[in-house]
Structure 1
Amino acid sequence: MGLHLRRTPGADGTVAVYVHGLGGSSTNWTDLSALLAPFASGISVDLPGFGFSEPPAEFDFGLNSHAALLARFLEGLGKGPVHLLGNSMGGAIALLVAARRPDLVRTLTLISPAMPDRRVDHRRLSDPRMALAYLPFLGKRVRRALAALGPEERAKQVIKLCFADPDSFPAQRLAELAEEHSARAEFAWAAPAMARSTFGIFRAWFSRGPASLWAAAAEVTAPTLVVWGEKDRVISVRRASRTATLIPRARLLVLPRTGHVAQMERPNTVARAVLGMWERVEADAW
Structure 2
Amino acid sequence: MKLLSYEENGKPRFGALVEHRVVDFERASAAYAKLDSSVKQLPSSVELFFDEIDELDSSARKIVAKFIEDGASDASISAPLEGLKILAPIKRPPKIICVARNYAEHAKEAGLEISPIPILFARFSNTFVADGDPIVVPKVSDSVDWEGELAIIIGKDTKGRRLSKEEAMDYVYGYSVFNDVSIRDYQFRVTQYTAGKNFRASGPFGPVIVTADEVADPHKLDIKTTLNGHVMQFANTDTMIYNIPTILEHISEFIDLEAGDVIPTGTPAGVGFKRKPPVFLKHGDVITVEIPGIGILSNPVADEA
- TM-score between the two structures when normalised by the length of structure 2: 0.27
Name the structure, 1 or 2, with higher relative contact order (CA <8 Å, separation 6+): 2
Structure (1/2) with the larger helix percentage? 1
Structure (1/2) with the larger strand percentage? 2
Larger radius of gyration: 2
- TM-score between the two structures when normalised by the length of structure 1: 0.29
